[in-house]
Amino acid sequence: MLLWFAGFSFVLVWAVFKDTAIDYRLVMLGAVMPDLVDGAFGGEGVLHTLVFSVGLLVLVMLGTRGRRHARRRLLALPIGTFCHLALDGMWTRTVTFWWPLFGLERPGGGLPSLERPLWLTIAMEIAGALALAWCWFRFGLDDPVRRNAFRRTGRLSRDLLRPEPPSEAAAC
């Protein structure tokens, strides 16, 4: 299940930050990384824990001291892993989510995204595809120039920021 995480992490990060300078490619990579890595090792594991996402965030913050542009770019990766935790509902798997608080034994179990009923998995993937399609049209990625810039940098065009309409209170 990749489209669910990639599509909705993109939409969520845009909805929260409304920032054209975030590397959305890294956000989406961070959002699919836990399933790709833990899945390769047999199921739910360390990348599905809060400590991993927090540790990755700390690593990025410490590793990019004095390098503002690198920090801004790399922060997208832990933001993506946090999105994965939310989109996968990991807080409902207390032992894994809070590992190693309940013991140092490796978190176990299958990937949550593979344990759902097939109809739900298909519906979530379709929703993820629709979210990616919304991003495609909302951010003008059908334009070759914007699309190539996004491929190279992961950033969105600044001219896509729509000015907020004045509120009625401000008019008085």
Question: Which segment of 8-12, 91-95, 128-132 scores lowest on mean pLDDT?
Answer: 91-95
- At residue 164, the pLDDT reads 57
First to last CA, the chain: 50
Compute the distance between CA of residue 92 and CA of residue 44 in angstroms, rounded to an integer.
13
DSSP tag of 159 = G
Residue 169 has pLDDT above 90, yes or no: no
Rg over CA atoms, the chain: 18
Residue 168 confidence class, pLDDT cut points 50, 70, 90: low
- At residue 59, the pLDDT reads 97
Compute the distance between CA of residue 15 and CA of residue 8 in angstroms, rounded to an integer.
10
Compute the distance between CA of residue 80 and CA of residue 40 in angstroms, rounded to an integer.
19
Residue 158 confidence class, pLDDT cut points 50, 70, 90: confident
Residues 80-128 pLDDT 10s: 999 999 999 888 888 888 888 877 777 777 888 888 899 999 999 999 9
Residue 161 to residues 23, 120, 140, 157, Cα–Cα distance (Å) = 16, 34, 12, 8
Question: At a CB cut-off of 8 Å and minimum separation 6, what does 37 contact?
Answer: 45, 47
Both tokens assigned to 1: 């299940």
Of the candidates 64, 46, 43, the residue with the CA atom closest to the CA atom of residue 113: 43
The ranges assigned to domains in the chain are 3-171
Compute the distance between CA of residue 96 and CA of residue 78 in angstroms, rounded to an integer.
18
